[in-house]
């Protein structure tokens, strides 16, 4: 195995030694020796020189008081290892893992496009028209506290100084600062005392922009302009922004009762306040820099014959931003405020800045114009005046409930009992009716009032602050028309993007018919203005049918919806609801985008980025620059040089694979009586609800079973015990049956020639590398009743057979031969994760004994806290959760 980068090893060593000194100071040298003994034994287990049972026995001998600090020790080391790796990735610009020789880059792509005969002007036009929107969402299993994330970011700055400064004196100062930060982290609780509110989650998203993307966006566009000047002879227009940002934080109310109309309004105001504050700081700095006296006639006419015209104009802009901040503060405080200087839209800020830019260029000072001023203009194009456009998401049944109450109130019958055609006829009639559907005040349930209040917030807000209205559980055209009617009822006089979200296997199969039905309605065609957005859900479809079958259903749904929109001459934007893990559509960005059906991208893409992945991709400016480059490149390539369509025989084979996979997956998850008891006994699924993670509940219905469990904790629970079952169950049967039918060569050809299939196989290979069957056995031995253990043995056998089958298909000796960084990262962490697994299993046994039998060996609160720490540590070690 290729060794880890020398500097990365050195940084891990430095951080680990500092942590050791911190622990020794806090708990004594004997405790440090105890932790080191466990680590050494764990490493021997990993290398096959000791048995898991020996490690398990060593951990069982720990005093009750030692359980929590030992769990914290291994968790902190994993967090520090992550910080070191994050620094390495930022320095080397490796934001995601690809096979050797396949790291995507703008220079390589532009050269490739030119070689393929794509004209430079077409490249420039495609980038100018490109619209990639990254939609930040809160993560219900984001385990790291914001205060600790800030400390790990401070470690990154220290490591950078340590690398750049060769002075022994200065390095010693850096090391002292490192140890201070590590001590701060050690003496800080890893676990939140309470769940974050939706507003807290939104503030976390704003912090990512302030601390990283505010610097990364203009830096990235500088690099992009250099490449475009080389290839196309022109930079990107200053008002262009191929990558923009949106958010669900504070707008996603699907199953989250804590997101109310009031919360959404507050987040909208806070977002605009944060943007105005950042621009205010920028303008203050720019005003200090632009001390020049020479100016264009247009600028002189604007400010008069003054000595420092740029400062005068920017002083006026600064005052307008100050008035805007005061107005937003008054809005948040519920106080009246009026000032004619308030900046409401982008043009109000862009116009004076462009006047300064053009004046500087006209007077021979372009080098100054292309400094901070150009950066601010780039930020303005990317972030606007609201920082991130806010989407609103609500489930279709909530809209139907409002209309059902309304039609009963109006004496029209019960909307809930009508068939689809009657619903559509009613909705279209009311949408074209100039009178309002309902009086402003009418007796309705609190739930319906909340939906209408949200619509009123939307109607009162400026359009550039809002993104889309996403409908989860959408299944028919009336679900979309219902939202349009409710928005009209609330007073919205403009069109809003209304986006149906298709999630389950049945939803995905129904999607083309729903979109065709909508676009066949003349009223709706006019409403959309020639553009339709459709969201594809990855989480629930994979939970419903297994990863392989869901992936193929998503692909076919995108193909069909693309064809429907082309037939209706409507421009389609696909919105991908991807998560961080394989079971939720996760994976390297470029591979995922190029795996989409040919013709489905066309320069436009929306995609969710969730909690922990936001931090891993965008948490540091250098990483964020690289992530922006990858998105831009992937969408440009998918638009100008899309991969070929799959061969007919590949599609037929994929149909067989999917059918075999879904039958196998559902046969286990839905039809095996012992499966649910096994899942609940083996994993910490029940205990996850106690961990104060995101603001959203773990279940849509508190009393439900597996079917009501959200996809994220479903995957999280299996990840904790290292079986990773949602990502591979079903794929094992499908691939083995294909091999048994003599289709090995066809599968290899699909891996080689079809990006969609190759992406699925690559992700399967990655997730199987993270499986640790020895840990699964330890959980089973302690937690699962004997009658259920044969089911576990069967699952482990299936996983091993899948690994063997996959290695045969890939003609490899070990998994991830071609992606060494990922394999090394997993391997180097295992000695620290394995003790956490065994501690977690022991703690689960003790916590359950307390709850079920009243037998407590220690303070129950301490046991639960130690358990929560192991959950956080394992999540940190594996770098993804749900």
- Per-residue pLDDT tens over the stretch 252-283: 998 788 999 999 999 999 999 999 999 999 99
* SS3 state of residue 550: helix
Report d(CA 253, CA 260) in Å as an integer. Answer: 7
Q: What's the pLDDT band for 875 if we cut at 50, 70, 90?
A: confident
Mean pLDDT of 732-737: 98
Question: 433 in a domain, yes or no?
Answer: yes
Report d(CA 671, CA 139) in Å as an integer. Answer: 31
Same domain, 719 and 852: yes
Q: Among 383, 408, 434, which residue terminates a domain?
A: 383
Mean pLDDT of 498-522: 95
Question: According to the model, what pLDDT value does residue 585 have?
Answer: 45
**pLDDT tens, residue by residue, 291-302:** 999 999 999 999
CATH code for the domain of 378: 1.20.1440.90
* SS3 state of residue 436: coil
25 vs 696: which has the higher pLDDT: 25
Closest by CA to 38, choosing from 55, 13, 17, 21, is 55
Closest by CA to 555, choosing from 581, 579, 536, is 536
Report d(CA 446, CA 468) in Å as an integer. Answer: 24
End-to-end CA distance of the chain: 29
Question: Which alpha helices (H) appear in 473-521, and where do they start and end?
Answer: 477-489, 505-519
Question: 759 in a domain, yes or no?
Answer: yes
Q: Which residues contact 454 (CB under 8 A, 6 or more apart)?
A: 253, 260, 261, 264, 392, 394
Task: Name the active-site residue from 11, 46, 87, 139.
Answer: 139
- Average pLDDT across the chain, whole number: 90
Q: pLDDT exceeding 90 applies to what percent of the chain? A: 67
Same domain, 708 and 828: yes
**pLDDT tens, residue by residue, 405-448:** 999 999 999 999 999 999 999 999 999 999 989 988 899 999 99
**pLDDT tens, residue by residue, 761-812:** 988 998 999 999 999 999 999 999 999 999 999 999 999 999 999 999 999 9
Question: 691 in a domain, yes or no?
Answer: yes
* 391 phi, psi to nearest 5 deg: -80, 155
Question: According to the model, what pLDDT value does residue 176 have?
Answer: 94
The answer, yes or no, to whether residue 54 has pLDDT greater than 50, is yes
Q: Per the structure block, which two tokens stand in for 742?
A: 């003599």
Task: Name the active-site residue from 543, 576, 617, 770.
Answer: 543
Same domain, 780 and 687: yes
The answer, yes or no, to whether residue 752 has pLDDT greater than 80, is yes
Question: 352 in a domain, yes or no?
Answer: yes
Question: According to the model, what pLDDT value does residue 583 have?
Answer: 41
**pLDDT tens, residue by residue, 339-384:** 889 999 999 999 999 999 999 999 999 999 999 999 999 999 999 9
Q: How many structural domains are present in the chain?
A: 4
* SS3 state of residue 607: strand
Mean pLDDT of 57-63: 83
Q: Among 497, 524, 544, which residue terminates a domain?
A: 497
Same domain, 521 and 556: yes
Q: Among 332, 363, 383, which residue terminates a domain?
A: 383
Mean pLDDT of 751-760: 93
Is 789 among the catalytic positions?
Answer: no
* 245 phi, psi to nearest 5 deg: -135, 140
Q: What's the pLDDT band for 4 if we cut at 50, 70, 90?
A: low
CA distances from 576 to 48, 579, 583, 593, 608 (A): 42, 9, 14, 10, 6
Cβ-contact 498, 481 below 8 angstroms: no
Same domain, 713 and 849: yes
Mean pLDDT of 244-252: 95
CA distances from 142 to 21, 188, 257, 390, 863 (A): 28, 17, 19, 20, 21
Question: 700 in a domain, yes or no?
Answer: yes
Same domain, 320 and 441: no
Question: According to the model, what pLDDT value does residue 72 have?
Answer: 92
DSSP state of 786: G
pTM exceeds 0.95 for this model: no
Q: Per the structure block, which two tokens stand in for 262?
A: 């009031």
Question: 241 in a domain, yes or no?
Answer: no
By residue range, what is the domain housing residue 557? 503-587
Same domain, 819 and 691: yes
What is the distance, to the nearest Å, from the Cα of residue 111 to the centroid of all Cα atoms in its chain? 31
Same domain, 285 and 346: yes
The answer, yes or no, to whether residue 640 has pLDDT greater than 80, is yes
Same domain, 466 and 511: no
Question: According to the model, what pLDDT value does residue 882 have?
Answer: 42
Same domain, 780 and 679: yes
Q: What's the pLDDT band for 18 if we cut at 50, 70, 90?
A: very high
Beta strands in 398-540 (DSSP E): 466-472, 497-502, 531-537
Same domain, 675 and 706: yes
DSSP state of 644: P
Report d(CA 69, CA 83) in Å as an integer. Answer: 21
Is 203 among the catalytic positions?
Answer: no
Q: pLDDT exceeding 70 applies to what percent of the chain? A: 93
The answer, yes or no, to whether residue 858 has pLDDT greater than 80, is no
Question: 42 in a domain, yes or no?
Answer: no
Highest mean pLDDT: which of 140-144, 655-659, 707-711? 655-659
Q: Which residues contact 460 (CB under 8 A, 6 or more apart)?
A: 491
Question: 511 in a domain, yes or no?
Answer: yes
Neighbours of 338 (CB within 10 A): 8
296 burial (CB, 10 Å; 0-12 / 13-18 / 19+) is middle
Same domain, 308 and 373: yes
């Amino acid at each position: 195995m290729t060794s880890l980068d020398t500097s990365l090893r050195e940084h891990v060593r430095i951080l680990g030694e500092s942590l050791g000194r911190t622990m020794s100071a806090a708990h004594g040298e004997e405790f440090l020796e105890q932790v080191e003994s466990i680590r050494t034994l764990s490493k021997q287990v990993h290398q096959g020189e000791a048995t898991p049972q020996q490690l398990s026995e060593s951990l069982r001998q720990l005093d009750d008081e030692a359980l929590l600090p030992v769990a914290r020790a291994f968790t902190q080391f994993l967090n520090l290892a992550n910080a070191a790796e994050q620094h390495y990735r930022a320095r080397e610009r490796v934001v995601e893992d690809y096979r050797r020789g396949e790291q995507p880059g703008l220079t390589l792509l532009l050269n490739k496009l030119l070689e393929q005969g794509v004209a430079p002007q077409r490249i420039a036009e495609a980038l100018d028209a490109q619209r990639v929107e990254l939609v930040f969402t809160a993560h219900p299993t984001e385990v790291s506290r914001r205060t600790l994330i800030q400390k790990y970011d401070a470690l990154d700055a220290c490591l950078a100084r340590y690398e750049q400064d060769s002075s022994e004196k200065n390095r010693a100062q850096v090391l002292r600062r490192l140890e201070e930060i590590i001590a701060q982290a050690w003496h800080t609780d890893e676990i939140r005392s309470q769940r974050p509110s939706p507003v807290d989650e939104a503030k976390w998203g704003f912090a990512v922009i302030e601390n990283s993307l505010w610097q990364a966006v203009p830096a990235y566009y500088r690099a992009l302009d250099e490449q475009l000047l080389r290839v196309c002879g022109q930079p990107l227009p200053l008002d262009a922004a191929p990558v923009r940002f949106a958010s669900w934080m504070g707008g996603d109310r699907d199953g989250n009762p804590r997101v109310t109309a009031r919360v959404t309004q507050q987040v909208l105001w806070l977002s605009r306040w944060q943007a105005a504050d950042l621009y205010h700081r920028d303008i203050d700095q720019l005003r200090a820099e632009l001390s020049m006296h020479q100016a264009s006639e247009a600028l002189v006419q604007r400010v008069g014959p003054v000595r420092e015209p740029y400062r005068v104009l920017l002083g006026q802009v600064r005052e307008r931003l100050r008035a805007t901040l005061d107005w937003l503060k008054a809005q948040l405080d519920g106080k009246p405020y009026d000032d004619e200087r308030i900046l409401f839209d982008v043009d109000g800020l862009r116009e004076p800045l462009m006047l300064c830019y053009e004046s500087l260029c006209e007077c021979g000072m372009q080098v100054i114009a292309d400094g901070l001023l150009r950066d601010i203009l780039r930020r303005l194009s990317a972030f606007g005046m609201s920082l991130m456009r806010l989407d609103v998401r609500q489930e279709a049944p909530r809209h139907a409930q409002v209309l059902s109450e309304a039609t009963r109130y109006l004496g029209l019958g019960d909307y809930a009992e009508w068939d689809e055609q009657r619903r559509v006829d009613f909705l279209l009639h009311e949408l074209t009716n100039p009178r309002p559907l309902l009086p402003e005040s009418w007796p309705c349930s609190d739930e319906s009032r909340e939906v209408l209040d949200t619509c009123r917030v939307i109607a009162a807000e400026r359009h550039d602050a809002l993104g889309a209205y996403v409908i989860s559980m959408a299944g028919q055209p009336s679900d979309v028309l219902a939202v349009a009617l409710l928005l009209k009822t609330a007073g919205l006089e403009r069109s809003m993007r209304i986006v149906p979200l298709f999630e389950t296997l049945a939803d995905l199969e129904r999607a083309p018919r729903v979109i065709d039905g909508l676009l066949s309605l003349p009223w709706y065609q006019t409403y959309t203005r020639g553009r339709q957005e459709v969201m594809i859900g990855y989480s629930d479809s994979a939970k419903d049918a297994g990863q392989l079958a869901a992936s193929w259903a998503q692909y076919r749904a995108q193909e069909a919806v693309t064809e429907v929109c082309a037939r209706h001459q409507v421009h389609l934007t696909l919105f991908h609801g991807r998560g961080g893990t394989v079971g939720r559509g996760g994976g390297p960005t470029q591979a995922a985008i190029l795996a989409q059906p040919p013709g489905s991208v066309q320069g436009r893409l929306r995609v969710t980025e969730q909690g922990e992945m936001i931090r891993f991709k965008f948490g540091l400016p250098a990483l964020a620059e690289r992530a922006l480059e990858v998105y831009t490149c992937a969408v440009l390539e998918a638009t100008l040089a899309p991969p070929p369509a799959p061969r007919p025989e590949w599609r037929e084979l994929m149909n067989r694979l999917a059918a075999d996979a879904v039958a196998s997956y559902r046969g286990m998850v839905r039809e095996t009586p012992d499966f649910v008891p096994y899942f609940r006994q083996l994993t910490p699924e029940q205990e996850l609800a106690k961990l104060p993670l995101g603001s959203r509940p773990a279940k849509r219905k508190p009393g439900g079973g597996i079917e009501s469990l959200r996809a994220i904790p479903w995957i999280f629970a299996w990840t904790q015990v290292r079986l990773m079952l949602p990502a591979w169950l079903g794929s094992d049967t499908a691939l083995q049956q294909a091999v048994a039918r003599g289709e090995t060569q066809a599968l290899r050809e699909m891996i080689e020639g079809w990006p969609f299939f190759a992406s699925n196989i690559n992700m399967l290979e990655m997730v199987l590398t993270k499986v640790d069957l020895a840990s699964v056995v330890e959980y089973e031995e302690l937690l699962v009743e004997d009658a259920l253990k044969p089911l576990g043995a069967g699952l482990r056998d299936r996983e091993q057979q899948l690994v063997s089958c996959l290695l045969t298909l890939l003609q490899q000796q070990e998994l991830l031969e071609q992606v060494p960084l990922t394999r090394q990262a997993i391997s180097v962490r295992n000695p620290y994760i394995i003790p956490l697994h065994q501690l977690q299993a022991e703690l689960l046994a003790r916590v359950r004994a307390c709850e079920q039998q009243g037998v407590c060996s220690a303070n129950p609160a301490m046991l639960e806290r130690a358990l929560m720490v192991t959950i956080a540590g394992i999540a940190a070690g594996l770098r993804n959760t749900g």
